[in-house]
Each structure stands twice: as C-alpha cells, then as structure tokens.
A and B are shown apart, each in its own frame.
Chain A
Amino acid sequence: MLPVSSSQFPAAIQDASRPRKLQLLGILSGFAAGAWLGAAEAPTKLVSIGISPMVISLIMVIGVFLARWSLPALILGTSSVRADVRQAPHLIIWALLAGCLWAVANTLTIFAIRDIGLSIAFPLWNSNSLLGILWGFLFFNELHQAGWRRRVGVLGGALVMCLGATLLAVASSARGPAAHSLHGVWAALGAGILWGTMYIPYRKAYLTGMNPLSFVTFFSFGELGTMTVLSVSSLGLAPLWQELLSARSVIFWLMLGGFVWVIGDVFQQYAAKYVGISRGIPLSNSNQLWGLLWGILVFGELHGRSSSIYLEVIGGSLLMMLGVGAIAFSSATGREQIRWREAAIRESDRYGVATDFVEARMDGRQVLGEAKPSRSGLDWLLVVAATGVFVTFAAMARVPQMSLHWGPAAVLTALLFLFLVICGLTLWRTTRFN
C-alpha cells in the first residue's frame, strides 16, 4: 500500500479544521445514538405479556423497515440513494449482509431480555465494542499510528467497559429464573458478536463513500427478509398470522420501538463514518446507561431487590460510562486519519469507485458539480404511506397493562428530542447529511 499523497486527496489538506469538526460531529452522533438506541429497547419489555419473541422482533423490524425508507426519503430524497448505488453497487451486498446480522442479533436480544432482563442483558451485548475495535484495527487501519495515549484510551476504555459488564453479569446471577439465565447470557453475548461484526459492512460502506442514509435503505431488505424467514420457519405461516392478529393492540408500540431504533442507528452510522468503528461503537454503547434508566425508572426493574444488587448494577454501569468517556477523549489524529484514507484508497482501487467521490464523502460533502439531492413525488408517497401505517396501528393501540411510571418516561423522552435537535442541526450545518 502506497502512502496517501496530497494529490490523491487534495481537498483534505485545504481546510485544516475540517477533520477536527468531523471528529466532534462523530462523537456527538455517538452520544445521540446511545440515547435513541437505549430508548428503542424499552418496548421489548412487552415480551412479559406473553407475545412470542419472534413476533416481537418481526413487528419491530417492520417498523424499522418503514422508518429506513421514509426517513432517507424525507431527509435527502431517494434520488441520492440511486446516485450512491451507481457509484458503488457492490455495497448493496454488504448492506443486505449487515441487515441479516442485525435481524438475528435483535431476535437474540429479545430472548436475552426475556431470560435475564433489560438492565442486565444490555451490557452483555454491548461487549460488541471490543469486537468493533478488533475489526477496525485489523481491517480498516483504525488506531494505526494513533500514538500510545490514544490506544490506551480506546483499549483501556473498552476493558473498563468489560469490567463494568462483568459486574452486571454477576448481578444477573441473583436475578431471574435460573433455568433460562444461561440461555439469556448466551443470547446477549451472541447478539454482541453479531452486532460487533455488523460494523465491518458499515465501515466498508463509509470508507467507500456511501451515504449512511443510502446504506440503511438497502440494509432494511436484509433485516426484513431474514426476520420474515425466521418467523415463518419458527412458528409457521398460519400461527404467525394468528399471533400478529392477537398482538394488534401492541403492534404500534413495537413498531414505534423499531422507528426509534432507526433514528438511533442513523446517528450511529454517522458516528461510525466520522470517528470509525473502534470509537463509534463504544460511544453508541452509552445506550446501556439509557437502557438502565428506562428499565429502572420507567419499568421498575430491580424493584424490591437488595441494595447490593443496585450497587452492582449502578457501579457496573458507571464503569462502562467511564470507559466510554476515555474513548471519547481519544479521537483520531492526523496520522491515524491518513491511515484511514489509505484504507479508503484500497477500497476504491479494489472496486473501481471514483477517488474524488470517496474523498468528498469522507469529508462529508458532495463532489464538485454533483447534483443536489431533491425530493420527488415518490419520496412524499413513501413518507405518507409509512405515516399512514403508523397512524392506522396507533388507532388500534392500547396501553399495555403494565406498571409504568409516566413522569420519568416524559423526562427521558424530552431528553431524546433534545439530542435529536442538537445533533440533527449540527449534522445538517456541517455536512448537509452527506
């Protein structure tokens, strides 16, 4: 691999402050992703009212599918998706593969939540950050020439997060039915491995210049296809239909969970794009803290447990957050970013993607002369259709008969929207969502 010269990426050296801005944007996106991804898991608590985990996952994925098509159509228009695909058609395969990984991981998390609870399962599958660091280092030159301080920040932060996760796993041994707790731990760890590996396609797509909004659009076919096959093969078509009919009063809440997940995932995609997967995943994994807050404050998880269990769960979560903080303060330097660009050139050479396209997209901008994305009638049709589906199921929805604390739920929801506005505006001003 030849080193990157200024002639290969000339714009990269024209605005010296641009890489720093993009790093900060990636970090902000990672924290926003954490808040939204954490909130998205809350509806899966409905598993306790007797719906099959497969059906819950399928309904969530239908919500995800609707969101993954309507949000990109609303933000940039499907014309930008078509333009991206013309540049790098091979990335459709990686998007589908990532979608398949997501669907299987999401199903495993439903089993994990059922068996060991939300506040315990979360940190276990968040071990995906370790795998993300490994894949980022091995495949995409991340942390290469980063300097010892930043390597220690990222690796040390990840290890502290593991310590926190272990503390939470110890707490799990005192909770839940013993007959299923081992299955729950395996399911949560399996989900972590699948999600950690899912970031290989993510990073590959962004090093090759694909817009996150385009990537998630094709991603949705992989996840919906996989989830449909899993559900039908597991339950059979007729029983699945019966379960869907009997669950119609909660379909809206689960689809809403899927929708919220997509908003978090879009922020996560921008984090993976601008700070890499070795940093982006741990930052997004601050969703563990949000999941803990939703679990304890809104759903009353751990209510009546001994104070030592509370201390273990809170201590473990704080350790994980400490690790996340260390990683957030270890952003990539110029030399490491040059190694990222070498990885990008490798990809563009291998698949014949135009260098100016890759360069521009890595810098969060359009290629000179590229048509500005615009929305067509088809885009508005997608948005209206998706909204119509949500409104229809909202009309059928009933609030589940569960003990919920609405005050904390309102506060957490307000915080979510604060993140949405701040991060969304910053992304728009800095990159126009490119």
Chain B
Amino acid sequence: MNAPGRDPHPRGWWAMVLSDIHFWVPLAVLMGGLLLLRFIR
C-alpha cells in the first residue's frame, strides 16, 4: 500500500512542504494573529 514514488528521506517532503503555498498562507495568518494578540494585550 505504500506509494512507490515516495521519497524515503524526510528532507524530500520537507522541501515539498516549504515550496507549498498551503503552508505559507496559514503561517502568515498565524503571525498576524500573534501580532494582533500582542496589540490587544
């Protein structure tokens, strides 16, 4: 059941993650949320 094309090295999917916009959009919103929390406190 394992995918034949999967890179066995963790750095392989780390590179995929870091080049994925689905990762950066939530990360940017998280940073904005932390700034807002700091402002409100």
Contact = CB atoms under 8 A, between A and B. Distances in A.
Contacts of A135: 25
B13 A353 contact: no
B33 A193 contact: yes
A258 to B, nearest CB: 19
Task: Give the most central of B1, B25, B34: most A CB within 10 Å.
Answer: B1
B1 A356 contact: yes
A97 B23 contact: yes
B13 A354 contact: no
Interface in A74-115: 86-87, 89-90, 93-94, 97-98, 100-101, 104-105, 107-108, 111
Interface stretch (A62-70, A183-191, A295-303, A390-398): A183-191
A406 interface: no
Interface stretch (A23-31, A195-203, A263-271): A195-203
Contacts of B23: 93-94, 97
B37 A230 contact: yes
A139 interface: yes
Task: Classify the interface of chain B: helix, strand, loop or mixed.
Answer: helix
Interface residues of B, number: 27
A201 B26 contact: yes
Contacts of B21: 139
A352 B7 contact: yes
A87 B6 CA distance: 10
A105 B5 contact: no
Nearest to B2: A354
Contact of A194 (B17, B30, B40): B30
Interface residues of A, number: 43
Nearest to A203: B22
Contacts of A353: 3, 6
A357 interface: yes
Given A101-B29, A139-B21, A230-B37, 10 more contacts: A87-B2, A94-B22, A97-B27, A105-B33, A194-B29, A194-B33, A197-B26, A353-B3, A356-B1, A369-B1
Which 6 pairs across A and B sit closest by C-beta, in order of nearness?
Answer: A352-B6, A197-B29, A104-B33, A354-B3, A190-B36, A352-B5
Interface of B: 1-3, 5-7, 10, 13, 16-17, 20-23, 25-27, 29-30, 32-34, 36-37, 39-41
Interface of A: 86-87, 89-90, 93-94, 97-98, 100-101, 104-105, 107-108, 111, 135, 139, 183, 186-187, 190, 193-194, 197-198, 200-201, 204, 230, 234, 348-357, 367, 369-370
30 contacts: A87-B2, A90-B13, A90-B16, A93-B23, A94-B23, A94-B26, A101-B26, A104-B37, A105-B33, A107-B37, A108-B36, A111-B37, A111-B40, A135-B25, A139-B22, A186-B36, A187-B40, A190-B32, A190-B36, A190-B37, A193-B33, A194-B29, A200-B25, A230-B37, A234-B41, A350-B20, A351-B13, A352-B6, A353-B6, A356-B1
